Amino acid sequence: MAALIETRGLTLHFGGLKAVDGVDFALQSGEIHALIGPNGAGKTTFVSLLSGRRMAQSGTILLDGEDITRLPAHARVRKGIAYTFQITSIFPRLTVFDNVALAVQSQGARDLLDRTRAALARVGLEGLEAQEAQALSYGHQRLLELAMGLALNPRVLILDEPTQGLAASEIDSFIRLVESLVPETTVLLIEHNMEVVMDLATRITVLNFGQVLASGTPSEIRADPAVQEAYLGA
């Protein structure tokens, strides 16, 4: 089956630091794929290349067979790649409704009211539309950012450390929410919480020193000696 996103030899070096070093990767449509690895392994840089926030020095990125390697970030959003949760990037002084409405409006959508309300309801924030975003709890701010991503109707949703700072009860709710997104939305997840990774992921790719160390199912990754030595056993 052809991958929804595929990279071939993707590379980005910062001086002598090989942040992403010849990465071959495939994201299949309708899966939840986790990207894990030690700090500094290149995970955030890699998804920044996928989303267009950084440009690769060499290699290729394909979206459903189309070469998007040189497309800017806004063009990739329009093609269905949404990247959220690297940091909480809401507009704090705007209302909850207006935060999501801006995301809908950026797509040129005409049914702004319905799509905004639908995105808020999807993450459980209905009834909070009139609140200023800065007045929300941290967990609700993260849900708001997820609503902003979902309002873009993405084909691929990239979540960077989404459970960081969440309480245990919020993490459980988040897991169920992400599970509800597939197969309509394909999810690529960077996450350090291995319980979340093993609970959510269909497949896992492990990065180490900017290169792919292993890729497989959660059980295959858990049993991989090289992964245990580089990451899981740490």
Please return the burial class of 28, using the count of CB atoms within 10 Å of its CB with bins 0-12, 13-18 and 19+. Answer: middle
In a 3-state reduction of DSSP, which class is residue 165? coil
At 107 the pLDDT is 77
Q: Is the pLDDT of residue 55 over 60?
A: yes
**Band of the pLDDT at 85, cuts 50, 70, 90?**
low
**CATH class for domain 1-77+188-234?**
alpha beta
At 113 the pLDDT is 94
What's the mean pLDDT in 157-173? 90
Q: Where are the domains of the chain?
A: 1-77+188-234
Assess contact for 202 and 209: CB atoms under 8 A: no
| C-alpha–C-alpha distance, residues 6 and 102, integer Å | 30
Mean pLDDT over each residue of the chain, to the nearest integer: 92
**Band of the pLDDT at 135, cuts 50, 70, 90?**
very high
pTM: 0.91
Least confident of 74-88, 139-153, 192-206: 74-88
Joined together, the tokens standing for residue 26 give 């495939």
pLDDT tens profile 215-234: 999 999 999 999 988 887 64
- DSSP per-residue string spanning 92-150: TTSBHHHHHHHHHHHTT-S-HHHHHHHHHHHTT-TT-TTSBGGGS-HHHHHHHHHHHHH
At 89 the pLDDT is 77
Please return the burial class of 84, using the count of CB atoms within 10 Å of its CB with bins 0-12, 13-18 and 19+. Answer: buried
**Band of the pLDDT at 154, cuts 50, 70, 90?**
very high
At 231 the pLDDT is 81
Query: What beta strand segments (E) does the chain contain?
Result: 5-14, 17-27, 32-36, 58-63, 66-67, 81-84, 156-160, 186-190, 203-208, 211-216
Q: Is the pLDDT of residue 88 over 80?
A: no
